[in-house]
Chains A and B, each alone.
Chain A
């Protein structure tokens, strides 16, 4: 099974560790992983700002790069959602609709792929502690990612999963929203941070780096240096340190 790893622009720039964690997990699941070198961004920033032409351009680039893969897997619900749900909408009644449709069908969010497609049983991570899981919006509502990360985490003997209140409520990141309406986003992050604290978990995990940067950024600004903020791939792969 040839699996193309789409690292995402945010992981590439900010926290490559997550990319390597995904790589390790996919290999552990028995996949033959390829990482196309020329990959960049799925086009979501442009798409969400109304620049459909820019987004289409990047969609075609991505489709070309992953054309020979059986699956495309990415450690991000929002990028996977972009490709699975929004790419086809960008190419409706279009000459490229076929290629884009095939790409959309074979694209999966990482935990969805590991739990549902590859059925990873032996999770390599060794994290011990209590963990609250934040359900990032696109993964949850566009792709139905809810039980998959929990099922994988449940296979780790050291992890005790805690359900925090409002785990499905947006953390306020929303891409450029977090900068444009910084005060609203911060308030939303506050609500999230309160729920994390109230859960008493040692760490909070999620499947999207955007949310994680946002949550961690607010926790630290509020003076919390203890609560760890981790990508689910880092936890599952045992790659939570530098």
Chain B
């Protein structure tokens, strides 16, 4: 690990100010993704701002009947929350399908959204990777790409975003609240947080430098059933090959793109009376295989259709 200096932020304003003023600064929340990458020197922050004890861990009822989840609320705390379990079961299901009990106890809501890809070449510093080193090339294009994306890919990067939680939140039409170093707070749809790789896969979000995620806000639960299903290589403790979150008429896919993928074409098809199978065909019409991940197209079509059908019969 490269040397760095460390401070614990006293309040959100101080945290964003320090982030803007200190070269090479990064926030650390649970640390479960950042420290993993720092040990491999893939992340090399010169300064860490510990935001883990900021008073942003609460989960509060929102005035409109929704729920406001503080960015520091741990994944375990969110999945254990009675309101989440009863009114947003798809979110509790998605969270408990990810990582392990120990990791979820440390993983924060904000850190989970901003976790980086688990593409094997991003982790292997002896191989070219545009995300790690812009312009170096992408080893996954011609390499082991069984886990790679099938939607929204580019010639620069075919990696997937590994979060389960974010997929459910996108299906729930969540919004993100942030605080910028200027002191400006803003709120925008979670769907607009992450970017597709395009030619700049190293730029992963639309956050500005030093901007801190302070909360995720869920609108009131939609009418209709909710369900999260995840297909993976092991029964537990593995990231998704493909996952599907259904919340009423809204659908999001995980493990298939550089961001949690809102399946707007499938939603539109369903709204016009298409069958779940037809809706998934519509969503995957533009899906492309990189070689070894060809199976994901069929897997996602079937998993999506089955999840839509099953969610229909649920709370």
Q: Are A and B subunits of one complex?
A: no
